[in-house]
Amino acid sequence: MSSGPFEFAPAHDPAPRWVDLYALDELQVNVGIQVRLEQLWLAVFKLPDGTVCVVDDQCPHAGASLHRGHVDEDGCVICPRHAWHFDLKTGRMPDSSIEHLPTYAVRLENGRVLADISRPRPVPPVDPARISEP
């Protein structure tokens, strides 16, 4: 049923939009690759445990391309410009409750990496024990 010249959608999360990003067997452990989709610049990483993570490629601090960053033993990508650390699984900075990096849901199908680009995943709550005092 129409409500005049405008249609109003219910207020809820958008439907998932799964897109094919890359071949799983071409990803190297702890080496990021950049994927551009429409207005999104994404970085894709494969961790030593086999987990594949998809995050925004742009550091929220100074805009550096995170796919060029180093991945440490804790699964954090280190920004190549100012060495900010972001947990690739959660997007959180290990020592901050404020800054975070958008992350995207991932699934693996037929040897391909897919990500839901309809919206970033929610940022998980902060563990107060991991935040350093000023």
The per-residue pLDDT for range 9-30, each reduced to its tens digit, is 455 667 999 999 999 999 999 9
Total domains present in the chain: 1
Please state the φ and ψ torsions of residue 23, each to the nearest 5 degrees: -80, 130
104 in Cβ contact with 42 (< 8 Å): yes
- The residue type found at 104 is Y
Is 75 a domain residue?
yes
The CATH number of whichever domain residue 32 belongs to comes to: 2.102.10.10
Q: Please write the tens of the pLDDT for every residue from 26-54.
A: 999 999 999 999 889 999 999 999 999 99
- Residue 60 maps to a domain: yes
| pTM score above 0.85 | no
Are the C-beta atoms of residues 45 and 35 closer than 8 Å to each other? no
Residue 43 included in any domain = yes
Q: Does some domain include residue 127?
A: no
Residue owning tokens 């020592």: 95
Distance CA 47, CA 66 (A): 15
- The answer as to whether 13 is a domain residue is no
Q: Is position 129 within any domain?
A: no
